[in-house]
Copies of this chain bind each other. A is one copy, B any other.
């Protein structure tokens, strides 16, 4: 017999406290500039130790919701961008689909990245990309999905833009997608098509053709995108 089990989230005390403050701020009970009760007093009210109160305040501070001033107290500070992000995330966080978001982000980023790479890639970087595609061919030949080489290709392409910020974001997105990509590459035909469109991208990059590289990447994404995910073309 199978039970319908759900992971039991062991809540730590400070997390519980943080959530209570989130609610208070969201409901307007705590407004910009308000002073929180002293840590010792909060500890008594929540019936926890001061350590737990402090860890909670540390979280709130990192989220930009409060600021602590020694000798003065801890104050609500909801003017920053961080705080807006935090509250937004805490309200909508439950049902968001990470995978869909990541696919969408890739759709936005990768084509212009290919264009930038075409303009800036050094010969060494082009050689590196070529190497990766050869490795992908070998992986496919021996029955593998080639997902590692696939990820490497996108990362190396981002590296060729010489933009540190882009590289970091792409590495994050690729990390998230690597698992899912394994599935979409299960169908044998797809592996070859993915490799073929990679080659077209590389050809345009090597030629320094920014526009062509951008289009080739857009086409590649359309090929490898799991069917049913039409992130950029909703019914509007």
- How many residues of A are in contact with the other chain, CB < 8 A? 59
Please report whether the interface of chain A is mostly helix, strand, loop or mixed according to DSSP. Answer: helix
With A and B bound together, what is the CA distance between A113 and B227 in angstroms?
23
Segment at the B interface, from A35-43, A91-99, A186-194: A91-99
**Minimum CB–CB distance for A125 against chain B, Å:** 11
- Annotate A82-116 by CB proximity to B: 1 below 8 A, 0 otherwise: 11110111011101101001101101110011001
Determine which of B58, B109, B151 lies in contact with A14 in the assembled complex, contact meaning CB atoms within 8 Å: B58
Determine which of B51, B107, B169, B208 lies in contact with A105 in the assembled complex, contact meaning CB atoms within 8 Å: B169
A residues with CB within 8 A of B: 10, 14, 51, 54-55, 58-59, 62-63, 70, 79-85, 87-89, 91-93, 95-96, 98, 101-102, 104-105, 107-109, 112-113, 116, 119-120, 151, 155, 159, 163-169, 171-176, 208, 210, 232, 234, 236
